[in-house]
Amino acid sequence: MSALHQPPTTALPTINDTLEIIHYRLLPSDLYTLCFTSKSIKQYLLSVRPSLSLLISERIIDYDTGKFPLNAITSKVLGVPVQELSQGNLHECMGVEPPGPAASKGPWRHLVNERWKHSPHRPELEQCYLQWLHSVIGPLMISNGETEMYYSRELLIRYHTPYRDNEGEFKNDIKRQQCEGSARPYGKRKGINRPGISTKRHADRDYGHPTGEVNVWLPVNDRVWGGNSLWRDRTVWEGERRWEGEESSRAFELRFGEAILWYGNGCKHETRKNDTEVTRVSFDFRVIPGSLFEKRAECRTFDERGNYFLRMDLMNEL
């Protein structure tokens, strides 16, 4: 056989090679390849890595509020009546003046954070959190072929108070530009430079989060919507061929007993000025399917010692 007709010596990619490409080249992108490749290729990729489906779709999940009374436990942690928390009146019952335009600073925020950090009821909440993960998220992971997952070690509380312009109206465009458009933040919290905004527009990967994580957002109010909620951009998994941008952003609309799984790692999200009379209180945490866990990831939020993520065995009881 002549040299021109020698068979190629380079081996074809194995399934493991393909998974390596999926994991370290596809996920850091905007998931274009998986969303818009041919149906047969998409089916193949999902057949060898089913948990990728968790990253290309939003899903609202229901849970038993009798078994997981997260509103009642949170109210004990914060030291307020559960009815006031549920109805969104946290800003009225903390005993200090609620925040104004600079929502990232002041005695109200300090008091909430101190109660959150030092409450004797935190162990009860943390145990409920672990049981919730195992009972609610665990079956979803198992149905996608997972036997383990990684989860946020710390349950993060988020809140967004009604906008109070108690520092005076903006009188003209120059003043507005000074407060909203300058490089110097309006409040002390890094990056917050728009009055009434508690979370600036970003994607989690901007802060070094591992690309295989799935966001879970869980409100403890009776209902969240509009200005009190979290806003996220329209995304490629909704049938568009590009990330739509800020003009397409929509608020999550959920009720107590619902949580949403979504890909905040690649999807831009933010809060907007809360023009409702409700203080939204919610939990924010992340889970990673075991097969998508990046052991070699160099992330500011994770290392293998487990300072951010902990492992959960889904095959055994807690």
Looking at the domain assignment, is residue 42 inside a domain?
A: no
Looking at the domain assignment, is residue 18 inside a domain?
A: no
Span 270-278, mean pLDDT?
A: 90
The number of residues making up the chain comes to: 318
Looking at the domain assignment, is residue 26 inside a domain?
A: no
Q: pTM of this prediction?
A: 0.76
pLDDT (tens digit, 9 = 90+) per residue, 71-114? 999 999 999 999 999 999 998 887 666 555 555 556 778 888 89
Query: Nearest 5 degrees, angle CA 185-CA 109-CA 282?
Result: 100
Indicate which CATH number applies to the domain containing 216.
2.60.120
Domain extent for 101: 57-313
232 pLDDT exceeds 70? yes
The answer to whether 251 and 225 have CB atoms below 8 angstroms apart is yes
Looking at the domain assignment, is residue 288 inside a domain?
A: yes
Give the whole-angstrom CA distance, residue 117 versus residue 155: 11
Looking at the domain assignment, is residue 173 inside a domain?
A: yes
Give the whole-angstrom CA distance, residue 145 versus residue 147: 7
Structure tokens at 215: 């966001």
pLDDT (tens digit, 9 = 90+) per residue, 40-68? 766 777 787 788 888 777 899 999 999 99
If one counts every other C-beta atom within 10 angstroms of the C-beta of residue 183, the result is: 5
97 or 23, which is more confident? 97
Report how many domains make up the chain: 1
Look up residue 162 and give its DSSP letter.
Answer: P
Looking at the domain assignment, is residue 44 inside a domain?
A: no
Looking at the domain assignment, is residue 140 inside a domain?
A: yes
If one counts every other C-beta atom within 10 angstroms of the C-beta of residue 44, the result is: 14
Q: Identify the pLDDT of residue 246.
A: 63
Q: Identify the pLDDT of residue 283.
A: 97
**% of the chain with per-residue pLDDT over 90:** 40
281 pLDDT exceeds 70? yes
Looking at the domain assignment, is residue 9 inside a domain?
A: no
